[in-house]
Amino acid sequence: MSSRDSRFDGQFITGVHSTGIYCRPSCPAATPKPSNVSFYLTSAAAHEAGLRACKRCLPDAVPGSPEWDIRDDLAARAMRLIGDGLVEREGVPGLARRLGYSERHLTRVLVSELGAGPLALARAHRAQTARMLLVGTDVPITDVAFAAGFGSVRQFNDTIAAVYERTPTELRRAYSPAKPPGCESALSAPSASPKGQIVRSREVVDGGGGTGGGTGISLQLVARAPFDGVGVLRFLAARALAGVEQATDARYARTLRLPAGPATVELTLTGPPSAPGVTCRARLTSLADLAPLVSRVRRLLDLDADSQAIDRALSGDPHLAAGVAATPGMRVPGSLDPEETLFRALIGQQVSVAAARTVLTRLAEALGEPLPGADSADSAADSAADRDAHTAGSAQAGHSAPLTRLFPTAERIAAEGRTVLRGPASRVDAIIRVAEALRTGDLVLSFGQSREDLESRLMALAGIGPWTAGYVALRVLGTPDILLTSDLALRQGAGRLGLPADARHLARHGAAWAPWRSYAGMHLWRAAGATTGATTSAANRDLSPAS
């Protein structure tokens, strides 16, 4: 607190009992006496202790805690699902059911470990979503209440007053662009970017698509510095599917399914290296999908990773030090849709990224549901040209084709996948079995699963081995400590850095990288794509295991 180190913003909350407020660690207010301070993992715990948010530093306007990905226990898994808006959709009974525990046991664990029960944690999450909308958009206040998940305007007003000691109107006025908070850190949303706004036009995402009569919105998301945003977008661009995604080094757009219906989202890198951010422009079927959208985008881009701690740990290995120095803040790309990620992993096994992209593009075109409001007829010529680029293996494929369709559902793949999928019969059979298991509910993928549970459920299915299960856990759960030593490209990258190139010895050497082996793996994949005089990144390399 005395050093006002912004690296710890979002990782814990400081409660000052003499003033009755809680702050971010970098708050510029006078340092309180140690006897007056308590530390909390969540703002909900501070609320439960009778504290309100500091008006000077806005402790909620920071990147999220990386703790929930590092930990894989019940409390961390619950926080992932609460952040995804599950309590608003299914209530505490639904949260407990998803986690496999009784409501009573879940509440006891959360109160013991996080200082607040599931209702209080969900209430704090709703307050943070409401603050983001009030400060960063021009959405009408009544709409903000229901978009944030509150059951009534009165409940919304009471919560905002209790947490921020201001009415919603006062909170919006206090942090408007004309009067930014004087002590906001560079990481905070209000001072890091212009105020977002509600967008009523059809072209919310400049991709030629649409979602019928949905609502458009633009927000600024903060990232924990340093942030290799270009590297993440290159990874996504190498796998972009025509009609479903568009991607460049600075922009990524796509269609997706959210709880209330289909949506489109466009992500653009913004801000200087010291205060990186992402502009998120979306069109939603319902504003109630805003919280899950923001949560999933943050997971996709790994915005909350403790990059300074990761880089410091990995740079201690002389073989990785140069790569860490050249690319600080490397991220592990996450997932917007667990089921889609699983199908991509299955189809991408033992083939190049370009070959997998061709198959997936054909699958999406044949079985993907048309995006409501998209005019696919006008984009037929563009789609055909883009398919030709995919077939040729062009790195530019998928960058400009209009957004016209959603990725196919498990139901559609189970019913019609055999008419589209090509390749060894055993692989096609495995994909159809997985689709059928997802369709019937025999297999369920969730951001709230533990790594052990997810991997064991996947490997119980014929055709899924350790690489696929580990890769899905890495992408879907954001597990930071997975090293896929069976991956050929990863071992090639290790060899180029002077590390052991066989799986057993690489695993032994990589034990020293714990708990950040997923990030070490990203550096090895990057090294696999780095040849003398070449500029191709590991994002454009095959990430499948050896055949």
Distance CA 493, CA 514 (A): 19
Strand 13-16 and strand 215-222: pairing? unpaired
pLDDT for the residue numbered 228: 97
Residues of the chain with pLDDT under 50: 178-204, 206, 376-395, 397, 531-547
The size of the chain, in residues, is 547
Closest among 205, 156, 175 to 55, alpha carbons compared:
175
3-class DSSP string for 477-516: CCCCCCCCCCEHHHHHHHHHCCCCCCHHHHHHHHHHHCCC
**Of 9, 337, 487, 542, which one is the catalytic site residue?**
487
CB-side neighbour CA atoms (13 Å) of 461: 25
pLDDT for the residue numbered 191: 34
487 in catalytic set: yes
pLDDT for the residue numbered 10: 80
Contact 478, 299 (CB under 8 A): yes
**Of 9, 23, 54, 72, which one is the catalytic site residue?**
23
Cβ burial 433-466 (10 Å sphere, 16+ → b, else e): bbbbbbbeeebebbbbbbbebbbebbeebebbee
Closest among 147, 84, 136, 134 to 292, alpha carbons compared:
84
pLDDT for the residue numbered 116: 95
Distance CA 36, CA 38 (A): 7
pLDDT for the residue numbered 535: 31
Closest among 51, 65, 76 to 7, alpha carbons compared:
65
Strand partners, 278: 221, 269
Contact 30, 15 (CB under 8 A): no
Contact 268, 301 (CB under 8 A): no
386 in catalytic set: no
Q: Which runs of E-coded beta strand occur in 191-301? A: 198-199, 215-222, 245-247, 251-258, 261-270, 277-284
pLDDT for the residue numbered 285: 95
What global pTM score does this model have? 0.86
Tokens of 544: 């499948």
Distance CA 48, CA 35 (A): 19
DSSP conformation class of 316:
T
